[in-house]
Amino acid sequence: MPLFSARVLVSLRPSVLDPAGEATRAAAARLGVDGVSRLRIGKAVDVELEAPDAATARQQLELLSDRLLANPVIENWTLELRDGAAAEA
């Protein structure tokens, strides 16, 4: 069975406050890095999945992303298959 490699990028929705991002932005200024007007923190999840074909792999990865890896109430996610295809939620 083929092995598919993917990366799921999870980020807070624009309407959700990001205290960690704001703290990091303030720390950047204290380090002397000026000009950072916006900084938001997210996460990247690398996944390797065995599936019979790319369509099945995408379907399973979308299910994982939507129900397990991201909180759909406050987060958005983007799926990147290593073949360059991408899907968004």
Answer yes or no: CATH 3.40.50.150 is held by domain 3-88.
no
Q: pLDDT at residue 89 above 60?
A: no
Residue 84 has pLDDT above 90, yes or no: no
Burial class (CB in 10 A: 0-12, 13-18, 19+), 41: middle
Q: What is the pLDDT of residue 51?
A: 94
CA geometry: angle at 42 spanning 88 and 18, to 5°? 115
**The whole model's pTM is what?**
0.83
- Rounded mean pLDDT, 66-78: 97
| Residue 82 confidence (pLDDT) | 84
The residues that bridge with 88 in the sheet, in sequence order, are 78
Q: What confidence tier does 83 reach under pLDDT thresholds 50, 70, 90?
A: low
CA dihedral (73, 65, 18, 16) in degrees, to 10, reads -20
Q: Is the pLDDT confidence value at 73 over 80?
A: yes
